[in-house]
Amino acid sequence: MDVRLIGYARCSTREQNPDGQIIALREFGVPEEAIVVEMLSGNNFQRSAYQELVSQLKPSDAVVIDSLDRLGRDRDAVVDE
């Protein structure tokens, strides 16, 4: 079974730049077309691009992030997710 790598990059505001996260995801081996970028606060998981990513995950997929805080602000909620 092949593992499909899917990258997720998130910035809280439009003023922030996701380029550093995208570079790290590429260096990890995530294909450019498999990187999802979202420009929204991480105060909850009700983010459209994130929800779309999760809805399309298969058991053999691996979601790659640059830093755990890119998934959300609340550590316990991130662990639960």
Q: How many CB atoms lie within 10 A of CB 2?
A: 6
Order of all β-strands in the sheet with 4-11: 35-39, 4-11, 61-64
Percent of the chain with pLDDT over 70: 100
**CATH code of 10's domain:** 3.40.50.1390
Which of the listed ranges 17-26, 43-52, 67-76 does the model predict with the highest average pLDDT?
17-26
- Per the structure, how many domains does the chain have? 1
Q: What is the pLDDT of residue 72?
A: 84
Mean local confidence (pLDDT), 41-69? 93
- Per residue in 12-47, pLDDT (tens digit) is 988 899 999 999 999 999 999 999 999 998 888 999
Catalytic residue among 12, 41, 55, 60: 12
- Per the structure, the complete domain to which residue 63 belongs is given by 4-76
Domain contains 81: no
Burial of 46 by CB count in 10 Å (0-12 exposed, 13-18 middle, 19+ buried)? Answer: exposed
48 is catalytic: no
